[in-house]
Amino acid sequence: MSKLKGKAAIVSGSGRGIGRSIALKLASEGARVVVNDLDAAPAEQTVAEINKAGGRAVACVGSVTADGFAERFVKTAIDSFGGLDIIINNAGYTWDNVVQKMTDEQWNAIIDVHLSAPFKILRAAAEFIRAASKKEAEAGQEVFRKVVNISSIAGLGGNAGQANYSAAKAGIIGLTLALAKEWGRYKVNVNCIAFGMIKTRLTEASAGGDASIDIEGRKIKVGVNPELLKMMERSIPLGRCGTPDEAAGSVYLLCTPESNYISGQTLVCGGGIMI
């Protein structure tokens, strides 16, 4: 059974990694998906994969931190699919340093992508959600919408070398709590997933320490020292890192009708790791 049939979803950062898996999972359950990525190629590839499988998807390419992006993202869903039912704030990356060496640019970039961008996307969706909820209530309909914000165990317990990321991921939990209270009257379930170690291009083993990605002209180092990664995996009760598909499954849980009475919660998807 397609539990999300007829629903319209937007998933930021869904051309690659966890976001891609989220988009594919939601689409496999019947949702129509707006796929976003910084770069057109991965976004279009995910869209093509969904459409080839019999789903419906369109791309909205661009940086979630760009002026006007939030409004364009929301409008793409409404124009393409006639509405908006599911918002997944997933886009992000890390740019680490110890606090005495962290620049204003590093701090601001990570706060912008992990906290300010989700806020702007939710703000852009607010008027549609308010109007749609009022119309549905007048018609005697009970329609639940879903927001899933992506946090991290760093937002719950902090992480050395990640003052910016930890602060942003703690902030998104606070934003989730506030919106759960504001939007409950509109029948919007606002929840958060705090990921532990999930294997993506950002967390793959990197012996040389020279692996990097390009984020809007910035060369950002990625990867984890293999020995450190093994040590981290030993601390996980299930004994390994999670996969993007497993991460997507936790997000999907909070998008289903079974979660209609769950709101303002942070679910840790971390293989049993305790904070």
Predicted confidence (pLDDT) per residue in 187-228, tens digit: 999 999 999 999 987 666 455 556 677 787 777 776 666 777
pLDDT class of 123 with cuts at 50, 70, 90 = very high
Query: In the predicted model, is pLDDT for residue 91 greater than 70?
Result: yes
The pLDDT of 61-67, averaged and rounded, is 98
What's the pLDDT score for residue 218?
79
What's the pLDDT score for residue 213?
74
Query: Residue 12's closest CA among 50, 41, 32, 38?
Result: 38
Where b means 16+ CB within 10 Å and e means fewer, 186-221 reads bbbbbbbbbbbbbbbebbeebeeeebeeeeeeeebe
What's the pLDDT score for residue 202?
66
- Tens-digit pLDDT profile for residues 71-81: 999 999 999 99
Residue 165 annotated among the catalytic residues of the structure: yes
Using DSSP's 3-state secondary structure scheme, residue 219 falls into strand
What's the pLDDT score for residue 219?
77
- Among residues 93, 165, 186, 252, which one is catalytic? 165
The pLDDT of 78-87, averaged and rounded, is 98
Q: How far apart are CA 116 and CA 125, in angstroms?
A: 14
215 DSSP β-pair partners? 218
Share of the chain above pLDDT 70, in %: 94
Give the chain's mean pLDDT.
94
pLDDT class of 131 with cuts at 50, 70, 90 = very high
What's the Cα-to-Cα distance from 125 to each of 13, 77, 119, 171, 252, rounded to whole Å?
Answer: 17, 10, 10, 19, 20
Share of the chain above pLDDT 90, in %: 86
pTM of the model: 0.94
Residue type at 262?
Answer: I
What's the pLDDT score for residue 204?
66
What's the pLDDT score for residue 210?
62
Tell me which of 200 and 272 has the higher pLDDT: 272
- Tens-digit pLDDT profile for residues 231-270: 888 999 999 999 999 999 999 999 999 999 999 999 999 9
> CATH code for 8-269?
3.40.50.720
